[in-house]
Chain A
């Protein structure tokens, strides 16, 4: 039964992903070919994985936030902050030792955790709506990132730093390993502990969860911190990839792509059940869409129109009103509150 459900949730996203990849084959015969060059696997598929890494990462964080009925608009700015901190820490380093690298990673990630915690506190303790609470850092975070970089695109000459986003391990880009690690951690934490259950419970019915003894405030705090951490890692990858810090443009509009990936992956914006695997596929769809548009030779900016249509279709399919009007499912008006009150008869 559960397997069947998972299948239906993942079915359409997978089909869409395959479809996009197959379309590429018509324009580029060698699209699916992967070859070993200088001990590195190269090819379009590897490229999609590598370039998609930051998006997948923040989408994983975003999935948990959305599962609690929240949203995190600040991830794009956190990416910029993290990249800026990481790059600036090692910008003047001439040595080749790995000390500064750890320093850079540690510093960025700790700050991103704090920043995520700030969002979480505003949402869970102060009671600000998630959109509003994270809007603050969406605006200010980018300013802080620019402050750190001095508004310049600062180039990093410290070689080890390039390993995070540009290095290879066992013939695969290192960023793929990072994504795999974070994904596995997220799956382990949410599915092998009760955390996932609590998150879904809080997102589905926060009042009832409180009465069942769940500390919903802490759960919310935690997911925003995790989202901040994911964005931090993504920021390091992006900045290491180009060996520079760019406070202005790093991570611009990533939050919107991430929300899109989560929604495509089958997690509802109304909170509750979440699908990490679906999210990963959703992010891959968005990344391959971008790649495809490049390879077909359509102006890259058309991407935005396609994305807009995808968002609309997905949301309409999730809307009960739309399904009722179009497919005629569920004729009764879902006035939950009244039904609850008039629950008269019988089992």
Chain B
């Protein structure tokens, strides 16, 4: 207990992530007037609520040593299902919302089962899921379906005041609830710890008698559910369903999770880290907006550079721990 301050190597990426965020926020605050305000900080959450939710699901997948490429397409599919059921079938939101949430969940179950029972690579299975979900949303309609419904308008436009004259949206509340539940699940439930164990060594987990099959399927189910929930939030945000929604979002998500300190090889990572990862992506965009003259592609280049930084950092950590083992 004395050496609280001494860092485990595995926590180094998380510390790096948080420092990076603080650094970038300070940089923005010093450089631009109006940057250092609570609302700018809260806007990071408002604009990226959906990304936070999928990043949470993706964190579990990556910690377990897998990957889920289908999340972006699931957002599009969910938005289409929601929009067409609401506007074309004229169903009540009480029916629409559960059905929409089922979309990704069911896809997740199927993906998880394929990955586990047929020993297929997560990369390929979720790649198929990605094609499938986007194809299905186009089959519903190739056009944008705009949503005009009191419930959705309410969800989109309500502002929840927070102290200091600032506000957040309902989506932010949902996202934060998801984050807290996920943190609890990751650290205080058997399922959560099994995910880490599988990511550390699937073979060991098997030999230790852990329910590997159930856990793995549940992980992809969870990720699918999160993607659907994010799809709903995205629909609130955009007030429309469209097959091109969230194109390439899976890459942003993976990037956020990696920048958040989760090892892509699995076994280590924190839900909270992924949230900070999302905020870093958000702050890059905010800085670019404030700068005015910088163009949007700098976001991608910056994300790529950060990815490189964190992946190399991870390699160094692995090397050092291997070296320690060789000598120890």
A315 touches B307 (CB 8 A): no
* Residues of A with C-beta under 8 A to B94: none
Q: Which of A1-9, A138-146, A155-163 contacts B (4 or more CB under 8 A)?
A: A138-146
Per DSSP, chain B at the interface is helix
Q: Mark A227-254, 1 if CB is under 8 A from B, else 0.
A: 0000000000000000000010000000
B139 touches A308 (CB 8 A): no
The residue on B at minimum CB distance from A142 is B300
Q: Which of B14-22, B95-103, B128-136 contacts A (4 or more CB under 8 A)?
A: B128-136
Q: A302-B135, A319-B120 are in contact. Are A141 and B304 (CB under 8 A)?
A: yes
Q: Is the C-beta of B290 less than 8 angstroms from some C-beta in chain A? A: no
Q: Which of A132, A151, A308 contacts B131 (CB 8 A)?
A: A308
Count chain A residues whose beta carbon lies closer than 8 angstroms to a beta carbon of B: 47
Q: Is the C-beta of B109 less than 8 angstroms from some C-beta in chain A? A: no
CB distance from A342 to the nearest CB of B (A): 17
A303 touches B135 (CB 8 A): yes
Q: Which of A256, A305, A322 contacts B136 (CB 8 A)?
A: A305
The residue on A at minimum CB distance from B132 is A308
Q: Which of B24-32, B164-172, B308-316 contacts A (4 or more CB under 8 A)?
A: B308-316
CB distance from B301 to the nearest CB of A (A): 4
B251 touches A135 (CB 8 A): yes
Q: Which of B178-186, B212-220, B291-299 contacts A (4 or more CB under 8 A)?
A: B291-299
Q: Which of A302, A312, A319 contacts B119 (CB 8 A)?
A: A319
CA distance A302 to B121 in the complex (A): 24
The residue on A at minimum CB distance from B319 is A127
CA distance A322 to B120 in the complex (A): 9
Q: A131-B67, A140-B300, A321-B119 are in contact. Are A146 and B138 (CB under 8 A)?
A: no
A311 touches B128 (CB 8 A): yes
Q: A143-B299, A304-B134, A311-B124 are in contact. Are A133 and B311 (CB under 8 A)?
A: yes
Q: Is the C-beta of A126 less than 8 angstroms from some C-beta in chain B? A: yes
Q: A136-B307, A301-B135 are in contact. Are A127 and B315 (CB under 8 A)?
A: yes
CB distance from B323 to the nearest CB of A (A): 13
Q: How many residues of B sit at the interface, in one of the four size bands?
A: 35 or more
* Residues of A with C-beta under 8 A to B123: 71, 131
B138 touches A299 (CB 8 A): yes
Q: Which of B142, B295, B300, B307 contacts A301 (CB 8 A)?
A: B142
CA distance A133 to B264 in the complex (A): 11
* Residues of B with C-beta under 8 A to A202: none
B308 touches A302 (CB 8 A): no
B251 touches A316 (CB 8 A): no
* Residues of B with C-beta under 8 A to A247: 297
B138 touches A304 (CB 8 A): yes
Q: Is the C-beta of A128 less than 8 angstroms from some C-beta in chain B? A: yes
A302 touches B298 (CB 8 A): no
B255 touches A143 (CB 8 A): no
Q: Mark B71-94, 1 if CB is under 8 A from A, else 0.
A: 000000000000000000000000
CA distance A44 to B303 in the complex (A): 42
CB distance from A254 to the nearest CB of B (A): 13
Interface residues in B127-155 by Cβ distance below 8 A to A read 127-132, 134-136, 138-139, 142
* Residues of B with C-beta under 8 A to A39: none
Q: A307-B135, A315-B120 are in contact. Are A136 and B142 (CB under 8 A)?
A: no
Q: A316-B118, A321-B119 are in contact. Are A143 and B298 (CB under 8 A)?
A: yes
* Residues of B with C-beta under 8 A to A144: 297, 300-301
Q: Is the C-beta of B125 less than 8 angstroms from some C-beta in chain A? A: yes
A304 touches B251 (CB 8 A): no
CB distance from A153 to the nearest CB of B (A): 14
Q: Which of A136, A312, A321 contacts B304 (CB 8 A)?
A: A136
CB distance from A148 to the nearest CB of B (A): 9
CB distance from B245 to the nearest CB of A (A): 13
CB distance from A309 to the nearest CB of B (A): 8
Q: Mark B241-282, 1 if CB is under 8 A from A, else 0.
A: 001000000010011001000001100000000000000000
B303 touches A299 (CB 8 A): no
CB distance from A346 to the nearest CB of B (A): 30
Q: Is the C-beta of B238 less than 8 angstroms from some C-beta in chain A? A: no
Q: Is the C-beta of A320 less than 8 angstroms from some C-beta in chain B? A: yes
Q: Which 3 A-B pairs have the closest CB atoms?
A: A140-B304, A143-B300, A301-B138
Binding site for B on A (CB under 8 A): 71, 126-129, 131-133, 135-147, 150-151, 247, 256, 259, 263, 269, 299, 301-309, 311-312, 315-316, 319-322, 325
Q: Besides the contacts A144-B301, A259-B127, what 7 more A-B pairs have beta carbons closer than 8 Å?
A: A71-B123, A129-B264, A129-B265, A131-B264, A135-B254, A301-B243, A308-B131
A-B contact pairs, 30 of them (CB 8 A): A132-B264, A136-B311, A139-B251, A139-B300, A139-B304, A140-B303, A140-B308, A146-B297, A146-B300, A147-B295, A151-B296, A259-B124, A263-B124, A299-B139, A302-B138, A303-B135, A304-B131, A304-B132, A304-B135, A307-B128, A308-B128, A308-B132, A309-B132, A311-B128, A312-B128, A316-B120, A319-B119, A320-B119, A321-B117, A321-B118
